[in-house]
Amino acid sequence: MRSSPPVTDALLTALPKTDLHVHLDGSLRPGTLLALADAQQVALPARDEAGLMRTVFKERYRGLTDYLRGFAYTCAVLREAGAIERVARELCEDSFAEGVRYLEIRFAPQSLAHARLPVSEVLAACARGIAAAESARNRRPDVARDGHPAFRAGIVVCAMRHFAPAFGPGYAAMFEAYPALPQSEIFALASQELVLQAIRARDAGGLPVVGLDLAGQEKGFPAKLHARAYQLAHDAFLGKTVHAGEDYGPESIFQAITDCHADRIGHGTFLFDAARVRSPQIGDRARYVQRLVQYLAERRITLEVCLTSNLQTIPALRTLARHPFRKMLRARLSVTLCTDNRLVSRTTMVGELRKAVDTFGLTADDLRRLLIYGFKRSFYPGPYLEKRAYVRSVIDHADRVLAAQGAA
């Protein structure tokens, strides 16, 4: 019988981890935000880290609108290539320091682009930051010896369910170019353009662009409006994830899977909430949810769960114990824990795991299974056989770590 060691913070740090759902523009170091704002003459509501954490990046928020307020400041300092490269490199470094060995950095490059910095250069700057971090980390003797898995990272581009001209120069240009088009068609075209740019960056530029995401308000902006963009990504063999079930119900998750070919779901918080099923064509809501859960389980469609940010943006949760993560585990769904926004949520991967262990009673074996899901369901930027070997090295290393802590 396998013994399971106590889950200490040292064990949480030592185990190899992924972070598949982390936003670049929500994960700056506070000191870097201050330095970049000073250099670029961007006004912030505070001039020191303590002030920023008190007024903008708080422990608790009133809701999603309050939570998103900080992105106006972070995006404002990420409209220079050097700033994007620096923040991407530092995000990799901070993640590596707590045992993350595979990272997928997501952001909307079109929101940072402008006349002097096209989307292609935004993506290239992020890729340079990743490459610098990979090179520096993987040369370290403690990574190379004893079969430690290498550090790798990829880029997931975010299309937006909706936007306005005020969101950035690139968005304003879309409205100027198509003044007679309905807004929904402009949103759809912008997503298609982003996918084509992402494919070109991967195939012609050799950048580690591995997937497509869809972010933004779900209610009133259904994922199916972006089905053409997702079909382009599907045809080009890009990984596909969709923010769904975060502020809408189970139908949003099903639409992401069917209309957008989603391989993974961002959040999925309201997966089990039959009361949020809205379609009058669905008579038995409970049966609909049951079948959707089974569909996800059988196809191993992974849920990217972000405990801290869900608690901060969904007032109805009130406490972490009410989060559906426990139900996800009982249903044996493929689940991986993620940070979402390290700065805005004031969290880390070790912090997310600690909360899961303390709230839901996870054992070391439970963690091993969850962490391996993250590596297996990643959009790894390399051939499949290389990914298999990489995952094998992760499993072997995780087992060595557990054995050193007393696991049989």
Q: Could you list the active site residues?
A: 246
Cα dihedral sign, 181-183-185-188: positive
Tokens of residue 203, six digits: 């195939």
How many angstroms separate the first and last alpha carbons of the chain? 8
The residue whose two tokens read 């405990």 is 307
Tokens of residue 257, six digits: 């899977």
- Stretch (H or E) spanning 368: helix 364-376
Tokens of residue 259, six digits: 């209309």
Distance separating alpha carbons of residues 269 and 253, to the nearest angstrom? 10
The residue whose two tokens read 């879309």 is 174
Tokens of residue 105, six digits: 């950095």
- Say whether 210 sits in a helix, a strand or coil: strand
Tokens of residue 15, six digits: 């185990």
The residue whose two tokens read 């923040």 is 87
Distance separating alpha carbons of residues 192 and 353, to the nearest angstrom? 36
Residue positions counted in the chain: 408
Name the E strands within 164-290. Answer: 209-215, 239-244, 264-267
Tokens of residue 154, six digits: 């990829």
- Say whether 47 sits in a helix, a strand or coil: coil
Distance separating alpha carbons of residues 214 and 21, to the nearest angstrom? 12
Q: Are 331 and 361 in contact (CB under 8 A)?
A: no
Tokens of residue 158, six digits: 């975010």
- Encode 383-395: b = buried (16+ Cβ within 10 Å), e = exposed: eeeebeebbebbb
